[in-house]
Amino acid sequence: MGARMAVRRIGVIGDIHAQHVRLASALARLEERGVELVLATGDIADGAGSVDECCKLLEAHGVVTVCGNHDRWLLAGTARDLHEATALSDLSEDSRAFLTRLPRMVELATSSGTALLCHGLGPNDMAKVGPDDFGYALATNDELQKLLQNRYFRWVINGHSHRQMVRPFSGMTIINAGTLRPHSPCFLEIDFEREVVLVFEFAPDGSIAPVPSRIELR
């Protein structure tokens, strides 16, 4: 993981799944809004759109991106019987190289504490925690407990579940960016100074709702 200069306002794009049209729209909106940095939680592969176009967009816009389980599966040639699975042979050499370079995690310095960008929870790209998990489900979630006991990360920014979520725990808040897939597609803007998350939702026609939802982090 590599440390970066502290940022105050960032954009976050959740699981992409080849949705290159929505990805382009999200990047354009975040650029218009002047965020300092854009993050992506991975799972670029396996969807109805173009993985090549997604990789080009992410690289061209300097998006800090981590590897998702679908990207890992694609490179390994496993789970290719999935619905809308991307064939490795359909990828350009540039896209294959881009996906191969993606890290599992990235550490990020923010103006209100250290953040971890990952796909699942920490190095486990299959781990997750949802808004309906309580009690035993939380106590037996080993990856979550490791992060909480570590007490190093103030923020964990992830994806994998496709469920947009802001959930505070003791000393750490998990911010799930959701997905660009057709069910509830969205992306985020996080203001660490004001401790606010803005959720930009896509309408069925592909347009972005003019007024984002606002979630307080305090």
Name the band, by pLDDT with cuts 50, 70 and 90, for residue 2.
Answer: very low
Q: Which segments within the chain are labelled E, that is strand?
A: 9-13, 37-40, 64-65, 105-110, 113-118, 155-158, 165-169, 172-176, 186-191, 196-201, 213-216
Classify 9-216 by CATH class. Answer: alpha beta
3-state SS, residue 74: helix
Provide the residue ranges of all domains of the chain, joining segments of one domain with +.
9-216
Give the model's pLDDT for residue 4.
53
Quick one: which of 157, 49, 180 has its CA closest to 106?
Answer: 157
Distance, in Å, from the CA atom of 135 to the CA atom of 92, rounded to the nearest integer, reads 46
**Would you say the pTM of this structure is higher than 0.85?**
yes
**For 8-23, how does the pLDDT look when each residue is reduced to its tens digit (9 = 90+)?**
999 999 999 999 999 9
Record the tokens describing residue 204, joined without a space.
């069925």
116-157 pLDDT per residue, tens: 999 999 999 999 999 999 999 999 999 999 999 999 999 999
